[in-house]
Chains A and B, each alone.
Chain A
Amino acid sequence: MSGLVLNNVTKQFGAFTAVDKVQLAVPHGTFVCLLGPSGCGKTTLLRMIAGLEDPTAGAILLDGTDITGVPTHKRNLGMVFQSLALFPHLSVGENIAYPLRIRGAPREEQKKRVDELLALIHLPGYGDRPVSKLSGGQRQRVAIARALALSPKIFLLDEPLSALDAKLREAMQVELRQLQQKLGITTIVVTHDQREAMTMADTVVVMNGGHIRQAASPIEIYRKPADTFVADFIGSTNLIETEADNTGAATIFGHRVTGLSLPAGARTATISVRPEDVHLTAPGNGAIDGTVTFVRDLGGTIETFVEAGGQQIIAVSTPRERPDVVAGQAVGIALSPEVCVVLKQ
């Protein structure tokens, strides 16, 4: 198939398995975020795609061709490093022209392409400046332009925005996504920031312990997390244990939830309910009984902490639908079956 395919890719460092039998297909033109906590193997996976690490087992295919043994400099890819790795002895223009110079492109062509790229990253006329005189965000753009200079098939970025301050990072996320859509380039970004992944990606690949836990669109990852790790890692959630009663219906803290069914044969399961899907009502009426322990009013959102069944459940609401509760008050928790996601064990 066309695009990048990872087939059972495994990387071991001594006895430690950093990446374990990863299967992933990235069609051309998509934006993929590898998301996970530090040490989950996402950077190692990216470095294997770049050819900077050799997989212990498995194959990497680009448009059906096995590129596992192809050295980095022959893979036709662009990569932005966490440190940016701009060459300190070269000016902005020379940095961007470096891959063209290596290919022996004529001078006029180099200059034309550099001007094009400087316009693309909104830094026209910066070609002669030394790299050391740029701000963090400008360096970031130069590193992106340099990686794109040869119009590579695959664009890789390793924690590209982590050195920027929060405000600039948010702006660059949008900019990077717009740039990718404009160029239609296959892009793979490593990040530990879920906001970044949600903002930019077509497909979010959540990794932990060297495994892919779930690969899906951001909204699906959020709405339908596959397992407890994904549900907990993406956004905040309430993880609630459910049990089947003698009739086979699912119950939460002894209350039967009509319409919710557990996987066939399972006696217990964990479900994930997003805090904004938890509705507080008056106690009784078939709702789960709880007691408000704390109300955190943040202005834009209100978080209500409710103690129910020996567990803390958080409900988030907007000021318009503000629940009129105070700490110590008895409330009911209404869960509709469609907001309860049954997680894989």
Chain B
Amino acid sequence: MKREPPQSIADYGPLFFPAGMLLIFFVVPFGTMIAVSFFQRQEGGFYTPAFVFTNYERFLSAFFGGVLGFSLILAVTVAICCVVLALPFTYLLSTLSRRLQVIWLVGLLSVLSLSEVIIGFAWSTLLSRTAGLSNLLVKVGLLDQPVALFPSFGAVLTGMVYQALPYTVLVLYPAIVRLDPTLMEAARTLGSSPIRAFFNVLVPALRNTIMATLIMVFIFALGSYLLPQILGRPQHWTLSVLITDQAIYQSNMPFAAAMAVFLVLVTLGLVALTLLIGRKGEKA
């Protein structure tokens, strides 16, 4: 089928509705947020329209810089963990029979129906000293006495990977299923063991998909603010936690807005950088 470019304004008709929705529910609120980030805060929770940089200046401190750095590192770690776990899993899933694939996918989708709060408290129980997994290790004889595995960085990471993994699988799944299965067979006939073929045929052939998935999980993880609070110590709190804190508990809307804008800009910058590196790698 040949697609013709739109000729008249009427041809763009189908775009009007989504464009309007995007404008009203995304562009306008985001614009408001940018505006608020330049407003002057009043003591007692109010703010007045102004054009000051104090909110941004306050952000440029070692403390907030550190939190931003931690948030980015956490999100990157979650993204890498998710892809590393999900890629072999999804590949093996694609080699199963249709029926088993459907059962697994339905199971994964049911994880998505859990709220972040439930995931957080479930993991806090599982990692606790009194009722957690360490009790099993004691039973098996690997540990002398049960230990509390949370709050810790590992606990935050585990919870967030658990939450993001189904998304990762669901994004990778279509690309892996569409990949020609004879590619792996060809690699085997050419002397590559199945594991080597996975790394030097499947992974490179899915390079763009993997890149896109990493970026998606990264952005997804950046917005997480409940799990770090439930499973982590204050030093494991992300920028999203601080934004919530400023906006709701400190009633400092302008500062919260400034942090949010900054987070968006840094994220966009990183995504652009990743894509740029990806494109360079492709040319080489």
A residues lining the B interface (CB < 8 Å): 50-52, 71-79, 81-83, 85, 87-90, 98-99, 102-103, 146-147, 149-150, 156
Contact = CB atoms under 8 A, between A and B. Distances in A.
A88 B182 contact: no
A88 B189 contact: no
Nearest to A90: B204
A102 B187 CA distance: 9
Contacts of B188: 51-52, 71-73
Given A73-B191, A102-B192, A103-B191, A79 B186 contact: yes
Interface in B170-217: 180, 182-183, 185-194, 196, 200-201, 204-205, 207
A51 B180 CA distance: 18
A87 B201 contact: yes
Nearest to B196: A102
A309 to B, nearest CB: 51
Given A83-B182, A102-B196, A89 B191 contact: no
Q: Which of A71, A73, A75, A88 is packed against the most chain B CB atoms within 10 Å? A: A73
Contact of A98 (B180, B190, B193, B207): B190
Nearest to B282: A89
Contacts of A102: 190-192, 196, 200
Contacts of B194: 73
Nearest to A81: B182
A89 B188 CA distance: 17
Contact of B189 (A77, A83, A103): A77
Contact of A87 (B183, B191, B193): B183
Nearest to B183: A85
B192 A85 contact: no
A75 B192 CA distance: 11
A146 B185 contact: no
B183 to A, nearest CB: 5
Contacts of A99: 190-192
A72 B204 contact: no
B26 to A, nearest CB: 36
B236 to A, nearest CB: 38
